[in-house]
Amino acid sequence: MKMGSHFRFLSLCLLALVASTHAQLQFGFYAKSCPKAEQIILKFVHEHIHNAPSLAAALIRMHFHDCFVRGCDGSVLLNSTTNQAEKNAPPNLTVRGFDFIDRIKSLVEAECPGVVSCADILTLAARDTIVATGGPFWKVPTGRRDGVVSILEEARNNIPAPFDNITTLQTLFANQGLDLKDLVLLSGAHTIGVAHCSSLSNRLFNFTGKGDQDPSLDSEYAENLKTFKCNDINKLNTTKIEMDPGSRKTFDLGYYRQVIKRRGLFESDAALLNNAVTKAQIIELLEGSVENFFGEFASSIEKMGRIKVKTGTEGEIRKHCAFVNS
């Protein structure tokens, strides 16, 4: 065998080895193994989302929290007999929609047992609920496998918190291969849904430990929240407030308008104004169209959906999303 041919042969073998050990996500992954899978998920979403439209915000949050811990592997869905799983961590105590995912999983399992991962179901359902409530569409490549490990401390350490500053946010996003632009765009999901008063109680009542208010929060808005919304100190964990007042059910640019007016609910929202790059990106988004925002958001969330995915022979295909198979 000539040297050139031998080298090409070795190169082809190496490429084949890499391909076999590092399978990739692909569009229509279940086209042959479970051709109705994506249709089943979409049908269930359309049948039920209008009875509970707030689930769109809940599921996109669940998808975000899942991907930031061990990648997008459905580990946020796992239960723990000792309450030490991701879903038991403080950032996930207000996450909801687990039953919604379980119901979809049971339908898909009835059609194709042991074929479609919970990780893919969560990713597809998050997209479909957002679209069903008027939000952007993004492409979802599939082929994710389910993780078998879920650890409370990892969720506590990796999921961005509402009180994080811009440096911490940049670091947490960079750890997942996401940049400042992704931070701004994915924060845009706050345009829908609600938060609990407990998430911003420090900003309103005890910012520096002296019974004061966060000066970065618009004073008129803060006074309104304290007077009419978060006015019962005993109900801060249960009282809900709109993250984008007036249009919390509409996926639009309203969130960014609130942030620019210093009316973002969280310290992490306000932090976006403390960096020249993120502030400029917000201004640019507001100067553009909603359609432009939709396109930019779609790119970032598809990128997020690829974080450290398990493919090929990694992980497993769970029979039940809350439990590992063994």
Is 148 assigned to a binding site?
A: no
Contact between 45 and 103 under an 8 Å Cβ cutoff? The reply is: no
**Is 75 labeled as ligand-binding?**
yes
β-strand pairing of 194-196 with 240-242: antiparallel
Query: 86 a known binding residue?
Result: yes
Element (H, E) at 269: helix 267-270
Whether residue 71 is annotated as binding a ligand: the answer is: yes
Cα separation of 279 and 246, whole Å?
23
Q: Which residues are within 8 A (CB) of 199 and not within 5 positions of it... i.e. 6 or more apart?
A: 162, 265, 266
Please check if 244 is assigned to a binding site: yes
* Residue 191 counted as an annotated binding residue: yes
Count of CB atoms situated within 10 Å of the CB of 268: 21
Quick check: 254 and 247 in contact, CB under 8 A?
A: yes
Q: Is 63 a catalytic residue?
A: no
Rounded to an integer, what distance in angstroms lies between the CA atom of residue 122 and that of residue 95? 13
Beta bridge partners of 323: 320
245 is in an annotated binding site: no
Cα 272 from Cα 83, distance rounded (Å)? 34
Which of the following is catalytic: 46, 63, 65, 320?
65
Annotated binding-site ranges for substrate: 160
The catalytic residue positions are 65
Instruction: Name the binding residues.
Output: 66, 69, 71, 73, 75, 86, 160, 190-191, 244, 252
- Binding-site residues for Ca(2+), in ranges, read 66, 69, 71, 73, 75, 86, 191, 244, 252
Positions at the binding site for heme b: 190
